[in-house]
Amino acid sequence: MCRAMIYLGRPILIDDLLFRPDSSLINQAYMPRMLHMLNLAGFGMMAWDKASHDPEAPYRYSSPTLPVFDRNLKSLARKTQADCVLAHVRGVAYSTTVNISDQNCHPFHFPGTKVALAHNGDIYRIGEMKGTLRAHLKDEYARQIAGSTDSEWLYALLLSRLPDPRREPAREELITAVEEVIDIVRRTRRHHGVDISSSCNLFIATGEQILGLRYCFDFGRFRTESPAQVHEANLSYLSLWFTLGREYGFHDGEWQMVGGEAEATSALIASEPLSSNTATWLQVPEYSLVHAETRGGRPRVQVRAVG
């Protein structure tokens, strides 16, 4: 299973999210605290900077190699600040049939659209369901699917449910689109007789708002004829956490978000906390999403159950 994070708020050095914290996203690639599998199948990042040229266009960096050895990424992170960051380290099943390529690196972002998406999970038997799911995709997005992941299909589904993916969606438009994607996948699984646990944690960003979904289809159901092959994600509900505050950084000898919700200017959502001290982090409930958008320099946060 993958690890991912999204940040929205006052400008932050990307190094302070990806590398420097004791449980940074890059450290989680090879030493996750809340997962036993390694995440060795690539890295991807998108970052928005209002002070940059063409501020609505995000930076993008991705590589199918291990990020801990990526000197180009480290150099970029040490010099770049951003108002919004979506980053992902990819984890896949250990198999020679898995495709490790740049096309499969998250986040996914089709040209001209406002929304980017990363996924932590595995939609079981996605190959059998693509024909049915194709009917729910707009042609312009179906044609842009370049990789072999289930995640890119979820992204194309999300764009197809938005009223106009080329503009910034309203909060309710984005949340409704996410809920409709879940409903489409749920109905498609039922149509194909699929009832095996499939994790679907989503990380979505536009530069102006972020959304994290903690969801799993048919959690706890798995094939019993080969217990040794049961995926870890079937045994524990994949984690998702968030924290709010004035500033995320190194304070009082440890990495933490300071200021608390009352003084919050920034929001951070992650598969697992980016620091060993989790006192300032809150866990997103199962079957729920957390959404944040900045208004008047302060993040407005909502946690909502997803049926």
User: Residue 219 and residue 223: Cα distance in Å, rounded?
Assistant: 12
Average the pLDDT over 280-290 and give the result: 97
CATH architecture of the domain covering 3-305: 4-Layer Sandwich (3.60)
Per residue in 168-208, pLDDT (tens digit) is 999 999 999 999 999 999 999 999 999 999 999 999 999 99
Per residue in 231-269, pLDDT (tens digit) is 665 678 999 999 999 999 999 899 999 998 888 999 999
- Residue bearing the bigger pLDDT, 27 or 156: 156
Q: What is the pTM of this model?
A: 0.94
Q: Could you tell me which of 213, 236, 187, 205 has the C-alpha nearest to residue 290? A: 213
Using a pLDDT cut of 70, give the percent of the chain over it: 93
What's the mean pLDDT when you consider all of the chain?
92
